[in-house]
Amino acid sequence: MIILTGGAGFIGTNTLITLNRMGREDVLVVDNIAATDKWMNLVGMAFRQYIHKDRLWDWLAARPSAPLEAVIHLGACTDTMETDFDYLAENNLRYSQRLWRVCTQRQIPFVYASSAATYGNGTVGFSDDHSQTHRYRPINPYGFSKHLFDLWALKQSDAPPRWYGLKFFNVFGPYENHKGRMASVAHFAIPQALEKGVIRLFTSGRTDYGDGEQKRDFVFVEDVVGIAIHFLNNAAPSGIYNAGSGSAQTFNRLAAAIFGALQKPVNIEYFDMPESLHSSYQYFTQADMTKLVEAGCNFEPTSLEDGVQRYCDWLLKSRSADG
């Protein structure tokens, strides 16, 4: 049995789909769905049981001999604008520590979600070399909570037999509808292009970047799921790994890809970035994927245009099904 936390979330749902395609239905989905629409992500999926995240510990204590094979830990508070650090520490640090100890005790692999937000503004690079981890300075509480767990994991002598922290970059794709303001730029831009024929992007607040020329490592969700599954199934060296595309693309190119996928003329408007974002805005991200390739993952990222096309096709199909 595989424990999948955040199993009704964005990357979690896509992971569950992949596991089902592999014939795996013995999945314990752990999440906090509450009064959200995330339950809809689980419709039609195959899994053993759903458990609220706070009840997982009692479930485990009552089943000391449960045949657990691995934990894929994708559950977290992912709101980069959350200011309650105690809440973030409880959900993103201490919860992960407890799962680490479970995997250590039961000697099963542990795959967890870190974040590119741990790199901060990128001035010291985006290397997943462990010797560089202490140098990074996250620029929001969310990133810091993730960074603290990475640092903690690297110091542990008692560890799962195999463990992997995946630093997700700018992931986009199906099943992120519930994420609200934390959904990808593509998630907001596609409806804009469909309904209004225009995509609105931030102006640049720096002279070295033109409007819409800010760059991100946009990565299609199926690519990062593929990385997680690779580590689940292969005995690569334990540690922290980047999970991006390996290339930085401008927001203008993303917008052009969306218009192309929808067969509409390119029409971009720029507006000023909210003042609250100025201090925590990343102008450039790009994953160094060297370490992942050296770990035996034959990684071929989906191109931005192909990923956007697949996302648009999925969204249009979903809208059609909804009537």
Catalytic residues: 142, 179
Give the residue ranges of DSSP H helices in the chain: 10-21, 56-61, 85-88, 95-106, 141-155, 185-196, 221-233, 251-261, 290-294, 304-321
Please give the backbone phi and psi of residue 113, each rounded to the nearest 5 degrees, phi first.
Answer: -90, 115
- HSE-CB at 226 with a 13 A cutoff on CA atoms is 17
**Do the Cβ atoms of 314 and 320 come closer than 8 Å?**
no
Cross-strand partners of 201: 270
Distance CA 175, CA 181 (A): 14
Spatial CB neighbours of 244, under 8 Å, sequence gap ≥ 6: 116, 167, 168, 169, 170, 217, 219, 224, 285, 286, 287, 289, 301
CA-based angle 14:193:188, to the nearest 5? 45
232: its two tokens: 């689940």
Distance CA 235, CA 255 (A): 39
69: its two tokens: 């094979």
Parallel, antiparallel or unpaired: strands 268-271 and 199-202: parallel
Nearest alpha carbon to residue 255 among 307, 177, 199, 184: 199
Residue 157: CB atoms within 10 Å: 4
